[in-house]
Amino acid sequence: MNPERERDKMSEVETSGWMKIVEENPDHSTWYIERFQGMEAEGKDLAGEARFVDAMVPRHARVLDAGCGPGRVSAFLADLGHEVVGVDVDPVLISAAEKAHSAPTWIVADLAVLDLAAHGISEGFDVIVSAGNVMPFLAPSTRRVVLERLRRHLRDEGRIAVGFGAGRGYEFAEFFADADAAGLVIDVKLRTWDLRPHTDDSDFLVAILRSA
Ligand SMILES: C[S@@+](CC[C@H](N)C(=O)[O-])C[C@H]1O[C@@H](n2cnc3c(N)ncnc32)[C@H](O)[C@@H]1O
């Protein structure tokens, strides 16, 4: 799809919370990229989510990184041999991802209008990962539609792994209701990407979902 058509489609939906922040502070994306580059340089482990996802799928799986940012999760999974598509609404982050990592396919798109077939990608995914608080950055009016769009991009038996924190404007109970309305079932609820169980007072949620 040409970038102009993608922009038209994006203008049909409420602007993502992330892009509202970028509109107010144009340096935000660069700050975010440099923050993760700094952590990488310090030798921090930035691959916890990617290892979790890798354990969910066979070798050479099809992975969609929904809200991929500068490509932290996508790049690790592509290095393991998975076929990865990274999608993000922020063109500055996708540009940084493209520069740093050539293997995944990178696409600028709002998840609320996600239609990968229009980009020539019609095969579904074994797993869709949405790590690093993508969910609370979605425009509230698009949350259900995003979950529905993600579901439509799954292969049969495919699953979605989502992780985000409490206190960011998207209550876990609301997310569970939205998932249900989007035709998704939650198979697993954890509180960390290293598999600690979720409880009522957990301040983070990692959920694995599948089509109902
Ligand atoms: C905190 S960053 C996390 C980036 C990446 N998942 C990671 O963990 O490194 C949140 C990301 O969500 C993306 N995002 C927010 N709303 C979006 C939307 N509606 N469509 C696509 N991406 C979105 C932002 O552009 C940003 O890259």
User: Ligand 1 centroid vs 90 CA: distance in angstroms?
Assistant: 8
Which ligand 1 atom minimizes the distance to the CA of 18? 15
Give the least confident one: 8-17, 102-111, 198-207. Answer: 8-17
What is the rounded average pLDDT of the residues 31-49? 97
- pLDDT exceeding 70 applies to what percent of the chain? 99
User: Ligand 1 centroid vs 68 CA: distance in angstroms?
Assistant: 6
164, two tokens: 């985000």
163, two tokens: 């992780």
User: Ligand 1 centroid vs 30 CA: distance in angstroms?
Assistant: 14
User: Ligand 1 in contact with 134 (CB < 6 A)?
Assistant: yes
Beta-sheet pairing, 204-211 with 154-165: antiparallel
Q: How far apart are CA 130 and CA 150, in angstroms?
A: 10
User: Ligand 1 in contact with 90 (CB < 6 A)?
Assistant: yes
Angle (deg, nearest 10), helices 72-79 and 48-56: 50
Reply yes or no on whether the pLDDT at 110 is more than 70: yes
Q: How far apart are CA 125 and CA 85, in angstroms?
A: 9
Domains of the chain: 3-211 (3.40.50.150)
pLDDT tier, 8 (very low <50, low <70, confident <90, very high otherwise): confident
| 140-151 per-position pLDDT tens digit | 999 999 999 999
User: Ligand 1 in contact with 150 (CB < 6 A)?
Assistant: no
pLDDT tier, 1 (very low <50, low <70, confident <90, very high otherwise): low
CB burial of residue 48 (10 Å; 0-12, 13-18, 19+): middle
User: Ligand 1 in contact with 158 (CB < 6 A)?
Assistant: no
pTM (predicted TM-score): 0.96
Which ligand 1 atom minimizes the distance to the CA of 111? 20
